[in-house]
Chains A and B, each alone.
Chain A
Amino acid sequence: MSQEPIDAASHLVVRQASKRYGATTVLDRVDLAIRRGELVTLLGPSGCGKTTLLRLIAGLALPDAGTVAIAGRDVTRVPPHRRNVGVVFQNYALFPHLSVAGNVAFGLTVRRRPKADIARAVDKALALVHLDHLAARPISALSGGQQQRVALARALAVEPDVLLFDEALSALDRKLREEMQGEMRRILRDINATAIFVTHDQDEALTMSDRVAVMNGGRIEQLAEPRLIYQRPASLFTLNFVGLSTRISGTVVACDGGIVQVDTKVGRLAATGRFLAGSQVVVATRPEHLRPAAGATGNAVSGRVRAVVFQGSRSLVEVGAGGETLLAELPGQEAALLAPDAEIRLAWPVSETFAFPAPEMAA
């Protein structure tokens, strides 16, 4: 369900790639096209096939069907050592018999670079990850985060065309991680490498990537800019997986000009979307669009405050109405006035209300 047309100018193209292990389909006709120098994050629940997709691109696994192309060349059957990709493995895979510097130098050594060049490149890569003082250490004497940074330096040192990061920053503290995110953006721009970044951290995905690919059950549900992923989720899964939302199920009673009228337990709501009357749908919106009602435009629902969660400058207000739950994000002072169980009426614009097909029970 990838919306992007696969354009010829893309640097990395995965087309209709499928992979099965025994009876389980781990990747199901995945399409992915990434421009040169672009950074795409893969976001998805554990076990959805992110690592497998990276392995396909790196050449560590063969797809059962479909192709992988890098820079216009079909590399589906090219072995990994001739693809010029850099991989940061989920468990690092550092060579235990080599020192920190030995690990970072490995890719350059097998490329038969002159010794002096290697030494310079290793120094540079280690400086980037702030490990220059540990160059001579054995791998076994490093902390988890240090190991991760060595893996990063090792992948960067060869200046690959395509960089694949499998949760490359997960073991770092927040400050170091943010620093590394910035560094990596810069490095990627410098070497003009195309990168795929697997992460479980939504903030990381939304802040550092050019585009986000949301994966689910071996498929890419949506590939779009972070803003669109958040503001215009293409599926209920994406809406659900990325960020918070209010979701109310109901039945379409009328459709007119891209606006549907939906009967729900909390009354009639309007949403953007095209459905036949009688369809079961889920109506959804993001919490920041809900406001304590003043006017009568758009959708409005009355309910009782169930909880107020303090989040710094803003607060999250949970409102119960007719068996459904609404989430509203309000400025701190406004929320502070709300007592638990108080009556409240919330309203939000129809343009920020989406309708998705209700998940089928059988599926």
Chain B
Amino acid sequence: MTDTALPLVKAPAAPGRERWLAVALAAPALLILLALFALPLAKLLAASVAGPDGPTLAEYAKLLGTPYYLGVIWNSVRLALLTTGIALVIGYPAAFALARARGAVRSALLACLFLPLAASVIVKAFAWTILLRSDGLVNETLLALGLIDAPIRMIFTETALIVGSVNIFLPFMILPIYTVVAQLDPRLMEAAATLGAAPAEAFVRVVVPLTVPGVVAGVALVFSLAVSAYVVPTLLIGERYPTLSTTIAKAYLLARQPTFGAAAGVVLLVIAVATVALSTRLARLGGAR
């Protein structure tokens, strides 16, 4: 029994003709991704070690050896960690409420999830710059409520960055968890109850482990999106918080340092892929499935 990310229908050994038909069906998609995804990635890897006289790791040394660039990497990871953590705390209970909702309430809540997903990231980030201005809605509300005496500076601070980032990536946390929760068989909670588990314990022992796949999917997705976010830091905090993404963009679009940019790209890719691999691994160790 191997663990599979995708539950597949296992058919008995197919006769040759059907196997070839299957290969023919899958071939176009496969070839396109080989040519336009796998190969370019390999080239990028090669470009990141290209030097005037043979392969060199100089750019990696620069990235991983200079305090400034280590700070840049940490900025990206920190943004992703905070975003993922906050989104999980909000998204996990919200997904349960969503799964309990029925009819019009459910449709309305789902629309609240889908609509922002369908709206441009640029527009949403821009909206936060309006909301968080010193004369923006948030400051005015806080002033009116008497919580603050003078407008506080929010835009171009880390607060603005995190608020915007959580706002933009939250649906990617809620949706996978919701999917898993909605498919939970309610009879499992009942079975746990008849076996003597109080509701809280049944929740911890049965529901939580069964939602782990959704949580892992959400965490991996939000983390890898946030760690490589470009528009959000550009609009909400700018130069004061350089991230790997903004560094890569600068290396290519302004500074014309493709080798350095490629190396930074590989580092970013490794972080994103490692998170997904690691969380999947942790989920399996945790006994999910």
Judged by CB atoms under 8 Å, the answer to whether A and B touch is: yes
Interface residue B210 (Cβ < 8 Å from any Cβ of A): yes
Report whether B197 and A87 are in contact in the complex, using a CB–CB cutoff of 8 Å: no
Q: Which of B95-103, B131-139, B182-190 contacts A (4 or more CB under 8 A)?
A: B182-190
Q: Digitize A59-70: 1 where CB-to-B-CB distance is under 8 Å, 0 elsewhere.
A: 110000000000
For window 66-118 of B, CB contacts with A under 8 Å fall at none
Interface residue A186 (Cβ < 8 Å from any Cβ of B): no
Report whether A81 and B191 are in contact in the complex, using a CB–CB cutoff of 8 Å: no
Interface residue A106 (Cβ < 8 Å from any Cβ of B): yes
Q: Digitize B6-30: 1 where CB-to-A-CB distance is under 8 Å, 0 elsewhere.
A: 0000000000000000000000000
In the complex, chain B residues whose CB is within 8 Å of the CB of A106: 192, 195, 197, 205
In the complex, chain A residues whose CB is within 8 Å of the CB of B192: 81, 95, 106, 110
Report whether B195 and A107 are in contact in the complex, using a CB–CB cutoff of 8 Å: yes
Report whether B187 and A110 are in contact in the complex, using a CB–CB cutoff of 8 Å: no
Q: Which residue of A lies closest to B198 (CB)?
A: A81
For window 239-289 of B, CB contacts with A under 8 Å fall at 287-289
Interface secondary structure of A, over-half rule: mixed
Interface residue A336 (Cβ < 8 Å from any Cβ of B): no
In the complex, chain B residues whose CB is within 8 Å of the CB of A86: 194-195
Report whether A110 and B195 are in contact in the complex, using a CB–CB cutoff of 8 Å: yes
Report whether B201 and A110 are in contact in the complex, using a CB–CB cutoff of 8 Å: yes
In the complex, chain B residues whose CB is within 8 Å of the CB of A81: 192-199, 202
Kindly identify which residue among A79, A83, A95, A109 contacts B191, using a CB–CB cutoff of 8 Å.
Answer: A95
Q: Could you say which interface size class chain B belongs to?
A: 20 to 34
Report whether A138 and B197 are in contact in the complex, using a CB–CB cutoff of 8 Å: no
For window 1-60 of B, CB contacts with A under 8 Å fall at 1
For window 205-240 of B, CB contacts with A under 8 Å fall at 205-206, 209-210, 212
Report whether A96 and B210 are in contact in the complex, using a CB–CB cutoff of 8 Å: yes
Kindly identify which residue among B193, B205, B206, B288 contacts A80, using a CB–CB cutoff of 8 Å.
Answer: B193
Interface secondary structure of B, over-half rule: helix
Interface residue A231 (Cβ < 8 Å from any Cβ of B): no
Interface residue A187 (Cβ < 8 Å from any Cβ of B): no
In the complex, chain B residues whose CB is within 8 Å of the CB of A87: 190-191, 194
Kindly identify which residue among B190, B195, B209 contacts A154, using a CB–CB cutoff of 8 Å.
Answer: B195
Q: What's the minimum C-beta distance from A252 to chain B, rounded to whole angstroms?
A: 50
Interface residue A351 (Cβ < 8 Å from any Cβ of B): no
In the complex, chain A residues whose CB is within 8 Å of the CB of B210: 95-97
Kindly identify which residue among A60, A94, A96, A107 contacts B196, using a CB–CB cutoff of 8 Å.
Answer: A107
In the complex, chain A residues whose CB is within 8 Å of the CB of B187: 89, 91, 93
Given A97-B209, A97-B287, A97-B289 in contact, is the A84-B196 Cβ separation under 8 Å? yes
In the complex, chain A residues whose CB is within 8 Å of the CB of B202: 81, 110
In the complex, chain A residues whose CB is within 8 Å of the CB of B198: 79, 81, 110
Report whether B191 and A89 are in contact in the complex, using a CB–CB cutoff of 8 Å: yes
Given A93-B185, A93-B187, A95-B191 in contact, is the A141-B1 Cβ separation under 8 Å? yes
Q: What's the minimum C-beta distance from A94 to chain B, rounded to whole angstroms?
A: 8
Interface residue A175 (Cβ < 8 Å from any Cβ of B): no
Interface residue A281 (Cβ < 8 Å from any Cβ of B): no
Interface residue A158 (Cβ < 8 Å from any Cβ of B): yes
For window 86-113 of A, CB contacts with B under 8 Å fall at 86-87, 89, 91, 93-97, 106-107, 109-111
Report whether B191 and A93 are in contact in the complex, using a CB–CB cutoff of 8 Å: yes
Q: Which residue of B lies closest to A104 (CB)?
A: B195
Report whether A79 and B1 are in contact in the complex, using a CB–CB cutoff of 8 Å: no
In the complex, chain B residues whose CB is within 8 Å of the CB of A79: 193, 198-199
Q: Digitize A107-144: 1 where CB-to-B-CB distance is under 8 Å, 0 elsewhere.
A: 10111000000000000000000000000001001000
Report whether A80 and B190 are in contact in the complex, using a CB–CB cutoff of 8 Å: yes
Report whether B195 and A158 are in contact in the complex, using a CB–CB cutoff of 8 Å: yes
CA distance A96 to B192 in the complex (A): 13
CA distance A158 to B197 in the complex (A): 12
Kindly identify which residue among A59, A96, A110, A158 contacts B205, using a CB–CB cutoff of 8 Å.
Answer: A110
Q: What's the minimum C-beta distance from B7 to chain A, rounded to whole angstroms?
A: 9
Interface residue A215 (Cβ < 8 Å from any Cβ of B): no
For window 36-86 of A, CB contacts with B under 8 Å fall at 58-60, 79-86
Report whether B194 and A85 are in contact in the complex, using a CB–CB cutoff of 8 Å: yes
CA distance A86 to B195 in the complex (A): 6
Closest 4 CB pairs of A and B: A107-B195, A80-B193, A93-B187, A93-B191
Q: Given contacts A97-B206, A97-B289, could you give 13 more A-B pairs where the C-beta distance is less than 8 Å?
A: A79-B198, A80-B190, A80-B193, A81-B196, A82-B196, A93-B191, A95-B191, A95-B206, A96-B210, A97-B209, A110-B201, A111-B196, A155-B195
